[in-house]
Structure 1
Amino acid sequence: MDQPGAMPVDDVVAVIIRRLADQQRVVPAYIVRDAIEATLRRRSAEIGLVPLDVAEELINGFCSGAAVPEDDADTMPAVLSGDETGRLMTALGLAVHVAAFNLDRDRLRVAQILNGAAAAMVALGSGARAAYADGTSAVLLSPATLRTVRTTVIGVLQGIQDRGWQARHLDQAGTTALFGGVLDMLGAVP
């Protein structure tokens, strides 16, 4: 029987997915569903209809923190050397590696990291191919790609430092130095 003032979990998931898409963020529905169900389980033993106040809290919680996408139409692309492009690819590969080890711990954050890393690697690969075709080593990247790399690297560092992500199988100092170096480099790139 329907409860007045309540939403099915599927409807809450659909609203979150739609709002995230409006913010240019793509998260698989199963990740959102898992996170919602885990939250509801912590609050009560039953996962059924979600009271409107709880649904609103979940929707706002999932969709907050994302800024309005920046307009890069008048911004020149960044020009990276082959070495700088390689450093970004290495950092993104390491980010995927660390995130994959923590999939069972933090599925929503890991999905965001993997999505960002994949998008940035596609852009980096495309830029490197275009540079090769032009006979140059200058890789052109959009500001949006650089923001994605920055967000991805910061997300992994926060996962390791603040969220208890497992990374003990890696050299902690080397991992932190690589990520820090990439962030320093991105701070210097327009």
Structure 2
Amino acid sequence: MEQPGAMRVDDVVAVIIQRLAEQRQVVPDYVVRDAIEAALRRRAPGLDMVPADVAEELINGFCTGIAAPEDDSATMPAVLSGDETGRLMTALGLAVHVAAFNLDRDRLHVAQVLNGAAAALVALGSAARAAHADGTSAVLLSPVTLRTVRTTVVGVLQGLQDRGWQAQHLDQAGTTALFGGVLDLLGAVP
């Protein structure tokens, strides 16, 4: 017998996507769906309909507590050389490669890494073009871009070290050294 107020998974996903959009958060449907289905498998395998209390808990869990973006308007941008910018871009490209290679294993974590890498690459490319247009080699990066690079690199390292991501086709020592070097560089950048 169906509970009053029970929802289909599609409806729960739609409510979450709508609420996140109201908070100016864009998340692909499949990421939300995968997370909802994983939570339901753990809690109540085989359910066709999500009981109202469980649906409310899932919706609130996804949509509350989202941190407001930090205000960096008073913070000076970091100044990186062309070489340092290239190192960040290389690490982000490798992050995309490793994440995409593990898409079938860990879609939610992979989506977070790919989204962060895309945002950071766009910002890095734009900053590098601005530096070129100014005739300088000093690339100005916002604190949010640096945080995004750091979060993305850490996400890939967590995938490799803690989540069973595969990267045997890469030089493990070289990959880890590249990511570690970027994190060291970012630690030196305010």
- Determine the structure 1 residue equivalent to 2:91: 91
- Give runs of ≥4 in structure 1 deviating > 6 Å: none
- Determine the structure 2 residue equivalent to 1:169: 169
1:38 Cα deviation from its structure 2 partner: 3.5
Q: 1:19 to 1:144 in 2, by over 3 A?
A: farther
1:14 Cα deviation from its structure 2 partner: 2.8
Q: Distance in 1 between matches of 2:21 and 2:183?
A: 26
Normalised by the length of structure 1, the TM-score is 0.88
- Determine the structure 2 residue equivalent to 1:37: 37
Equivalences for residues 1-190 of structure 1 within 5 A: 3-21=3-21, 25-62=25-62, 67-190=67-190
1:24 Cα deviation from its structure 2 partner: 5.6
1:49 Cα deviation from its structure 2 partner: 2.1
SS of match in other structure, 1:113: helix
Q: Distance in 2 between matches of 1:167 and 1:62?
A: 30
Q: 1:90 to 1:63 in 2, by over 3 A?
A: farther
Segments of 5+ residues of structure 1 without an aligned counterpart are none
Most deviating of 26-35 and 46-55: 46-55
Give the aligned CA root-mean-square deviation in angstroms. 2.2
Q: Distance in 2 between matches of 1:34 and 1:83?
A: 39
1:93 Cα deviation from its structure 2 partner: 0.4
Contact 1:37 1:47 in 2 (8 A): no
SS of match in other structure, 1:110: helix
1:20 Cα deviation from its structure 2 partner: 4.3
Contact 1:23 1:69 in 2 (8 A): no
1:2 Cα deviation from its structure 2 partner: 6.0
SS of match in other structure, 2:127: helix
1:37 Cα deviation from its structure 2 partner: 2.2
Q: Distance in 1 between matches of 2:177 and 2:141?
A: 23
Segments of 5+ residues of structure 2 without an aligned counterpart are none
